[in-house]
Structure 1
């Protein structure tokens, strides 16, 4: 689980394309990257023996704790987005599952 501790203004890394100016965005990747973030360890769902339901339960407890803490700090859960990235064939063992929790500050 990742929580960023730095801010970025998307306008600094946005370019507008047109027929007259169709060049590429020259934003420096090093300026976009953040090095200040918190990483909370989560456990793999699978091991050599199959699905580890104990790990799923542990992850649920950790994520629930984070969501509850953020709620107590005045954040409101606005959206949840999930995604999967993989090669998509039977030999793929490198898939990644992502869930994004989008919060807004309660006014």
Structure 2
């Protein structure tokens, strides 16, 4: 009986591990400017290149302050899709037409990803907004995290 339970447990654990390895993930990021007067840049970004985070990760300990010897420029991705979006503001203030236009472009990207077999798994957003009369900086960023079975 114990052998049967252990065998079943190993089969289930193996199946779970195999299922987890069958997915790939893709992140699409929208960066929408909230800089007044339309001076900012807004884009929808989707990387085509892959990076292994382990190549750029170090473990810090109390005794060892070693740094990763790789150059930060090695992290940069130059192979990506960049879709222009409109800024939230122009000289007249907030532009709701621009928000609607951006929504249409982002919807198009999401629909294309869904048609390619991707599932929208998570959405995460954040804002760094204008913090006063002398700031004039800010972005609204949203990350769309897709997953699909590996092909």
Fold in common (TM above 0.5): yes
Separation of aligned partners in 2, 1:76 and 1:8: 22
Q: Which has the higher contact order (CA 8 A, sep 6+)?
A: 2
**What residue in structure 1 maps to residue 91 of structure 2?**
48
Q: Could you say what secondary structure the match of 1:40 adopts? A: strand
| Equivalent position of 2:144 in the other structure | 101
Give the unaligned 5+ runs of structure 1.
none
Aligned positions of 1:2-81 closer than 5 A: 2-81=45-124
Tell me how far 1:19 sits from its aligned partner: 1.8
Q: 1:53 to 1:87 in 2, by over 3 A?
A: closer
Does the 8 A contact of 1:76 with 1:106 survive in 2?
Answer: no
Shift of 1:50: 1.3
Q: 1:10 and 1:58, CA in 2 relative to 1: closer, same or farther beyond 3 A? A: same
How far, CA to CA, are the matches of 2:129 and 2:86 in structure 1?
19
Distance 1:105 1:97 in 2: 27
Using structure 1 for the length normalisation, give the TM-score: 0.90
Task: Give the 3-state SS of the residue equivalent to 1:41 in structure 2.
Answer: strand
Higher percent of residues as helix: 2
- The aligned length equals 107
Instruction: Determine whether 1:83 maps to 2:83.
Output: no
TM-score by length of 2: 0.65
Q: Which has the larger radius of gyration?
A: 2
Q: Report which stretch shifted further, 34-43 or 15-24.
A: 15-24
